[in-house]
Amino acid sequence: MAFPDDPQGAETPSSETAPHLHDDLPPHQGEHSPGVSGDVLTETPSSYSDDWSSSGHSESTVSLTPPTPPVSRPSYTPAPPAEPSVFGGMLGGLLGGKGPPPKPPGSSDEDEEDEEGMSRMSFLEHLEELRKRLILALAGVGVAFVLCLLFSDQLWAIVFEPAGAALRALHVVPATLRQISPMDVFQIFWMKVPILFAVFLSSPWVLYQVWAFIAPGLYKKERRYAVPFVLSSAGLFILGGLFAYFIAFRFGLEFLLGLGIGKGVDPGVSVTEYYDLFVDVMLGVGIVFEIPVLLFLLTLIHVASPAFLVRHSRYAILAIVVLAAFITPTGDIFNLTLFATPMIVLFYVGIFASYLLVLKREKRRFPWAKFLKIAAIALILLGGASFFIARYYGYHFVPKWPPFVK
């Protein structure tokens, strides 16, 4: 549209549209930024001025473009941050990343508390702890030795009674032992016998020191087994000694001394040899009775498992039978079974205790009601089978050792 050169003689257009010239202007000369309302963009009208309009003529600015339709933007939901992996946490720590490392899979606050309860000791501290426990254990044995030394004569009478009973049963007169060396009686009466009884008497204290040495390496919840460990281990050790004294040693000694009777051999046993055999049988059977505690302890420190013990039980049974054959060197299988059965039962008792420990770790419960019913039925069947087998082979019960004879 052309305008006259003389603006004073021209008329102001009333309905014509002025060009949209504000697009060429810089922002500071009247152009405003588009207003944003929600998702719809609108343009703010602006005024236009030049030499012609400044001389008294004005023109309204009208946009020639149609209104822009509303633009819908897709909603954006930020994704949750990915959990850092163990490797990522380690890599971030090496590269200088901040923040605590991620917890390993399966970890919990309870495990962290247990690990905090574990004592962290160096190698030298372990040696110092071992030295301390050995000194305390030997001190306990020393105190028990002094007490047993006051009753040495009565203790020797207890030691000699199986030999006297065996010699009297074999009609050996006199039913005494032989002294070969002048120092035999002094060493046995005043040293060896009190030491033997002191070991059994102080066994709870010694086993407590063993537990105290192991306990710092265990979790806090596993240290609760201290009292059951000490009581069960000491009780089984003493029970094994009683089994050896009243059953195993008496029968084995009578059998061995009677092998030469009627063949030109009279039994003449020295006091030293008799005492050495007595100590070997007492301590050996007492240690064998510690099988359940040993298996439980191996499971507690994650060295063995019930599945491993069951899988290799046939080797353990073979070793137990061989040991029973040495304790009862007889030709009949019945008395051999009589000695081997308690040891095999103790082995499986240890496996059962280990299984209960694993269940407790996994927070599962054992069906005691069903187990007791099955155990009662099994014991009744086993007792009935033993009775009929004994009657079939002609064995009968007598109130002395061996309790079953033909």
Closest by CA position to 166, among listed 257, 89, 236, 36: 257
> Residue 71: its pLDDT value, please?
54
Cβ(354)–Cβ(309) below 8 Å: yes
Residue 94 has pLDDT above 80, yes or no: no
**How far lies 359's CA from each of 310, 363, 367, in Å?**
16, 6, 11
Highest mean pLDDT among 34-48, 148-162, 204-218, 276-290: 148-162
Cβ(143)–Cβ(135) below 8 Å: no
Confidence tier at 368 by pLDDT (50, 70, 90): confident
> Residue 257: its pLDDT value, please?
85
36 phi and psi angles, rounded to 5 deg: -110, 120
pLDDT digits 0-9 by tens, 207-224? 889 888 888 777 777 777
Between 97 and 330, the more confident residue is 330
**Contacting residues for 346 by C-beta, under 8 A, at least 6 apart:** 236, 288, 289, 291, 292
Over range 371-399, report the average pLDDT.
82
Residue 95 has pLDDT above 50, yes or no: no
Q: Which two tokens stand for residue 264?
A: 């030109």
Q: Is the peptide bond before 402 cis (omega within 30 degrees of 0)?
A: yes
| pTM, rounded to two decimals | 0.60
Q: What is the DSSP string of 117-155?
A: HS----HHHHHHHHHHHHHHHHHHHHHHHHHHHTTHHHH
Please tell me the distance from the alpha carbon of residue 307 to that of residue 298, in angstroms, as a whole number. 13
334 phi and psi angles, rounded to 5 deg: -70, -50
Over range 265-283, report the average pLDDT.
88
Please tell me the distance from the alpha carbon of residue 165 to that of residue 171, in angstroms, as a whole number. 10
**How far lies 310's CA from each of 319, 341, 381, in Å?**
15, 17, 23
pLDDT digits 0-9 by tens, 47-77? 444 444 444 444 444 545 555 555 555 554 5
pLDDT digits 0-9 by tens, 312-362? 999 989 988 887 777 665 556 766 777 788 889 899 999 998 999 899 888
Residue 239 has pLDDT above 80, yes or no: yes
**Contacting residues for 211 by C-beta, under 8 A, at least 6 apart:** 226, 229, 230
Closest by CA position to 276, among listed 236, 248, 249: 249
> Residue 67: its pLDDT value, please?
56
> Residue 40: its pLDDT value, please?
43
> Residue 34: its pLDDT value, please?
45
Q: Is the peptide bond before 174 cis (omega within 30 degrees of 0)?
A: yes
- Give domain limits for the chain: 367-406
